[in-house]
Amino acid sequence: MGKRPDHWGWGFQKGRPTRQQVADLGRLAGERLGFEPAEVEDGVPLDAVELPPPRITAPDDLAEIVTDDTVERAGHTYGKAYRDIVRAFRGRYDNPPDLVARPRDEADVERVLAWAGDKHVAVIPYGGGTSVVGGVEARLDDGYAGAVSLDLRALDRVLEVDEVSGAARIQAGVLGPALEDQLRQYDLTLRHFPQSFEFSTLGGWVATRAGGHFATLYTHIDDLVESVRALTPSGWWESRRLPGSGAGPSPDRMLIGSEGILGVITEAWVRVRPRPTYRASATVHFDSFEKGAEAVRVIAQSGLHPSNCRLLDEAEGRLTGVSERPMLVLGFESADHPVDVWMERALEICGRKPTSSGSGAGGDWRSAFLAMPYLRDNLIQLGLVNDTFETAITWDKLGDLREAVRAAVPHATCRFTHVYPDGPAPYFTIVEPARRGFELEQWDELKARASDAVLAAGGTITHHHAVGRDHRPWYDRQRPEAFAQALRAAKTALDPGWILNPGTLISR
Amino acid sequence: MGKRPDHWGWGFQKGRPTRQQVADLGRLAGERLGFEPAEVEDGVPLDAVELPPPRITAPDDLAEIVTDDTVERAGHTYGKAYRDIVRAFRGRYDNPPDLVARPRDEADVERVLAWAGDKHVAVIPYGGGTSVVGGVEARLDDGYAGAVSLDLRALDRVLEVDEVSGAARIQAGVLGPALEDQLRQYDLTLRHFPQSFEFSTLGGWVATRAGGHFATLYTHIDDLVESVRALTPSGWWESRRLPGSGAGPSPDRMLIGSEGILGVITEAWVRVRPRPTYRASATVHFDSFEKGAEAVRVIAQSGLHPSNCRLLDEAEGRLTGVSERPMLVLGFESADHPVDVWMERALEICGRKPTSSGSGAGGDWRSAFLAMPYLRDNLIQLGLVNDTFETAITWDKLGDLREAVRAAVPHATCRFTHVYPDGPAPYFTIVEPARRGFELEQWDELKARASDAVLAAGGTITHHHAVGRDHRPWYDRQRPEAFAQALRAAKTALDPGWILNPGTLISR
């Protein structure tokens, strides 16, 4: 098994910094944010945690792949939402899964689903466990005999590569780095790098409509999927590999974003590409966020399709320590042709000289970006509430959205993670002193204020963090009621017992 | 009302050529295709057509918008499939709608649906009536009281334009040219030009996942839709205007391609853009189709995103009279920047000098393209069976698909209408002497052979012609069975009486 994943934080136990390092970070964060850092607190160690006893036992034919081990159950209790990490940190495990199953192949998945359907056991598909919206937590209505977390990480192989078409058939449980390692042998890459990349899986990306590396064009996993294979309680769902089709509503688009409620995704054909060999990067500073946003809008509508086009406001720049002014990180990449002409035109649109350019520009921000999930653990130790929320909005409503969010959560920092011709995906970060011991209440209240503001301003409750259980109140207001009826009926047809990830996305 | 649409052919009565013109065309076609053209035959005039009497009558409150007029009923009996035109040509109208309704607004649509639900009348949403797959024909199972064709063409307005985001709210019944005329006032364009553009509607495009103007990138109407509003028998379905979202499976993607079985689309917000001001076009000839296809594959995977990238095989070139060798029509366009660098790189990939270049290159082919639907009518008069079928396939299977189609339908000509990084959308045209009076049997047999070949080779039964009733046997084999269960359940939830376009896409 190698390194053991940390039971409450991001990454592995052995990578966790010392108390002294955390205290040093506290001083730095305090300076940047204007807080007095509180004393460093340690999480409750796992051997001090007691879980409620399992309510179910696995049948003999599943014994080899199912366990009720405490460490496994605790490790599968939560995703990585702020409220998840705080609860694990404080040793609070109210809803652990009763069992954890690790199928070795599709036949194992079939066996687990058959048994669970028979015994009315809830099945929670589990990939990397990086959900930040309560997508893997066994909060169940009455009536279920128990819950099994279905950990798919043993399905971790690239099974087939079609180098001519640029596509690969890949098992759903593979983590980002292992997926890229296997594709590297063919000089190919999926180039889908969500922030969770290190610890999240292909199946998780498909189930949650993950947003990837690219700031424009095909960046949601939706666009990278050529076909999907999933097991529903009523049988297999497998679409044909096609570059495009007009044959009825897209079956794939119904599974993509279904968050485990329709079926367990076991494989997908995805579109891969050669690694980029031509690159251009630049950072540009603006006097105001509004001016930066206007330049980004014109770039997004220009047809230049930058691979990177991330605009940070001054607060985000300060938080990550990369800039005191609004800053745009621009990038182009290609495996086919030099991209300088593209970059020149994008800079011309910005109407100003780049602050830095060349392949290393924006590197500071990239490092900060990847360190953020780790950093969050330490901020919790330091008594700071910290979390992110994100949305997408049409350009005409951006100003009002920003104002509404500022009114609801005054010190939220903002950046654009993705931009479309018709609007950006703004991403907000909050760091504020915690009321220790009352972090959950504080967070719930903060989350509700932010979400209400986003919904009222016309945004989506999530652009790429999914719905899970935590976004339900707002998702339920956002989605068309007739679509909810359709989805509910579809689920009931495929999963009559509602055993698959109940409580996520929709209720009976 | 202006010009009256022709009851059996494409376009308007007054545009129909004389017998002499048709005979001249026959000589030309005969030379190109190596047939002896048969004698020119005329269609049965509309006043010689007798329809079965209507089985239902409209209630008083619908009297203003519903008619049982014979001309209206005949005009709404068929789409524009070859088998439709032949039947109309021969005066055969077995399944006319009993009534035709022309709602003036959404309230009228609500009234028609309420009445139809009450009386168990089938409702067939009708846009431009250009379906080539039996999508608007009232072929009903027993049990329906009758059928009403719901002609939405009075809902023909651009209602709102958001110039900042580049989006417009448009009623579903507007025809292509009227849509573009209204957007022109804002210097904007949808730039979605399916071959049926002149006579098809926005709602029809959305309902059938129409393929548009662009050969690469965002070309399916799917990608141009920002939100949709539709009336289901269980209430309104309206999605939020969003540039992107990760909140559950996309509601829009479930309506897009639903071919009228889930709801009547009344409006959509669509993404519009400025008209292109920079253009580059070129034609390139190849020694073989395979060499041309290989160049197109590399271009499709290059990230250059040409607006036009249509490869014609030698037979297609001869049929349209534009080339004796395989020919690629390449084009780039932009409203933001010159595109010469893009074109230079694309030509470099082709490895050969263009045969012609400049903004007029490929113009011959474009004229031929737009004339094709008109031409088809005349070929029927000349005793020639002629039709098209199309698919999409990954690059690795293209050679086998071409061989399978050649074996099934030896004289089919081929072109690529759209290309994706992972595969092209090949489009086939058949012209062969008809067995007069037995055209339908001949066509059905031809269609079955072609469709069987496409399916067996791994293609989709349709890339942009939709499923309707005519593609059902192959669609039923293509789509995942679990998805069919989900769709059936969704339809039953929204449309418990199955009154909406029954027989299309799926059966109870």
DSSP label at A302? T
Kindly report the nearest CA distance between residue B326 and chain A, in angstroms.
22
| Nearest-angstrom CA–CA distance, B425 and B188 | 28
Q: Which regions in chain B score pLDDT beneath 50?
A: 1-2
SS3 track for A12-70: EHHHCCCHHHHHHHHHHHHHHHCCCCCCCCCCCCHHHCCCCCCCCCCCHHHCCCEECCH
Contacts with B421 from chain A: Cβ below 8 Å: 165-166, 243, 271, 273
Q: Which of A422, A459, A464 sits opposite B246 (nearest CB)?
A: A464
Mutate to test the interface with A, among B225, B240, B278 (most CBs of A within 10 A): B240
* Closest residue in chain A to residue B474, using alpha carbons only: A247
- Contact assignment for A337 to B304 by CB distance below 8 Å: yes
- Could you write out the DSSP letters of every residue in B54-82? PS----GGGTTTEE--HHHHHHTT--SSH
* Closest residue in chain B to residue A397, using alpha carbons only: B165
The residue length of chain B stands at 508
Mutate to test the interface with A, among B131, B189, B205, B242 (most CBs of A within 10 A): B242
Asked if pLDDT for residue A453 goes beyond 60, the answer is yes
CB A192, CB A212: distance < 8 Å: yes
Contacts with B420 from chain A: Cβ below 8 Å: 243-244
* Closest residue in chain A to residue B345, using alpha carbons only: A337
Structure tokens at B124: 């067939």
Residue A431 bridge partners (DSSP): A386
Structure tokens at B505: 């896409």
- Contact assignment for B394 to A165 by CB distance below 8 Å: yes
**Listed residue (A236, A221, A265, A257) closest to A504, CA to CA:** A257
| Nearest-angstrom CA–CA distance, B440 and B83 | 6
Contacts with B251 from chain A: Cβ below 8 Å: 479-480, 483
Mutate to test the interface with B, among A133, A228, A240 (most CBs of B within 10 A): A240
Edge to edge, the sheet with strand A99-101 lists: A66-67, A99-101, A146-151, A121-126
Mutate to test the interface with A, among B239, B258, B262, B337 (most CBs of A within 10 A): B337
Q: Which residue has the higher pLDDT, B281 or A48?
A: B281
| Nearest-angstrom CA–CA distance, A248 and A225 | 17
Kindly report the nearest CA distance between residue B279 and chain A, in angstroms.
13
- Contact assignment for A421 to B462 by CB distance below 8 Å: no
Work out the angle between the directed axes of helices B82-89 and B363-381 (0-180°, nearest 10).
40
pLDDT for residue A4: 64
CB A423, CB B165: distance < 8 Å: yes
CB B207, CB B257: distance < 8 Å: yes
- Contact assignment for B259 to A248 by CB distance below 8 Å: yes
Kindly report the nearest CA distance between residue A354 and chain B, in angstroms.
20
pLDDT for residue A274: 97
- Contact assignment for A422 to B167 by CB distance below 8 Å: yes
Q: Which of A422, A479, A488 sits opposite B247 (nearest CB)?
A: A479
CB A122, CB A146: distance < 8 Å: yes
- Contact assignment for B245 to A302 by CB distance below 8 Å: no
Buried b (16+ CB within 10 A) or exposed e, B419-453: bbbbbbbbbbbbbbbbeeeebeebbeebbeebbeb
Q: What is the ipTM of this complex?
A: 0.96
pLDDT digits (tens, 9 = 90+) for A86-109: 999 999 999 999 999 999 999 999
* Closest residue in chain B to residue A162, using alpha carbons only: B396
- Contact assignment for A237 to B480 by CB distance below 8 Å: yes
Q: Which of B241, B466, B483 sits opposite A251 (nearest CB)?
A: B483
- Contact assignment for B253 to A251 by CB distance below 8 Å: no
The answer to which of A255-269, A326-340, B319-333, B491-505 has the lowest mean pLDDT is B319-333
* Closest residue in chain A to residue B348, using alpha carbons only: A337
- Contact assignment for A478 to B258 by CB distance below 8 Å: no
Contacts with B350 from chain A: Cβ below 8 Å: none
- Contact assignment for A249 to B257 by CB distance below 8 Å: yes
pLDDT for residue A38: 79
CB A133, CB A122: distance < 8 Å: no
Which amino acid does the sequence have at A156? D
Structure tokens at B331: 């084009």
pLDDT for residue A360: 60
**Listed residue (B158, B167, B258, B262) closest to B202, CA to CA:** B158
Q: Which of A303, A304, A482 sits opposite B235 (nearest CB)?
A: A482
- Contact assignment for A482 to B424 by CB distance below 8 Å: no
Q: Which of B245, B263, B394 sits opposite A463 (nearest CB)?
A: B245
Kindly report the nearest CA distance between residue A474 and chain B, in angstroms.
10
* Closest residue in chain B to residue A349, using alpha carbons only: B336
Question: Taking the CB of residue B411, how many other CB atoms lie within 10 A of it?
Answer: 13
Q: Which of B271, B459, B489 sits opposite A493 (nearest CB)?
A: B489
pLDDT digits (tens, 9 = 90+) for B458-487: 999 999 999 999 999 999 999 999 999 999
Kindly report the nearest CA distance between residue B55 and chain A, in angstroms.
31
CB A230, CB B206: distance < 8 Å: no
Work out the angle between the directed axes of helices B481-494 and A481-494 (0-180°, nearest 10).
130
Element (H, E) at B160: strand B158-162
pLDDT digits (tens, 9 = 90+) for A165-214: 999 999 999 999 999 999 999 999 999 999 999 999 999 999 999 999 89
- Contact assignment for A487 to B249 by CB distance below 8 Å: yes
* Closest residue in chain B to residue A238, using alpha carbons only: B480
- Give the mean pLDDT of A209-227: 94
Kindly report the nearest CA distance between residue B353 and chain A, in angstroms.
19
Classify residue B325 as exposed, middle or buried by CB count within 10 Å of its CB (0-12, 13-18, 19+): middle
Contacts with B394 from chain A: Cβ below 8 Å: 162, 165, 167, 226, 241-243
Residue B266 bridge partners (DSSP): none
> How many A×B Cβ pairs under 8 Å?
308
pLDDT for residue A1: 35
Q: Which of B235, B462, B482 sits opposite A234 (nearest CB)?
A: B482
- Residue A377 confidence class, pLDDT cut points 50, 70, 90: confident
* Closest residue in chain B to residue A307, using alpha carbons only: B303
Contacts with A253 from chain B: Cβ below 8 Å: 249-250, 253-254
- Please state, rounded to an integer, the average pLDDT across all residues of chain B: 93
- Please state, rounded to an integer, the average pLDDT across all residues of chain A: 93
pLDDT for residue A390: 97
- Please give the backbone phi and psi of residue A387, each rounded to the nearest 5 degrees, phi first: -165, 175
Contacts with B222 from chain A: Cβ below 8 Å: 250
CB B434, CB B385: distance < 8 Å: yes
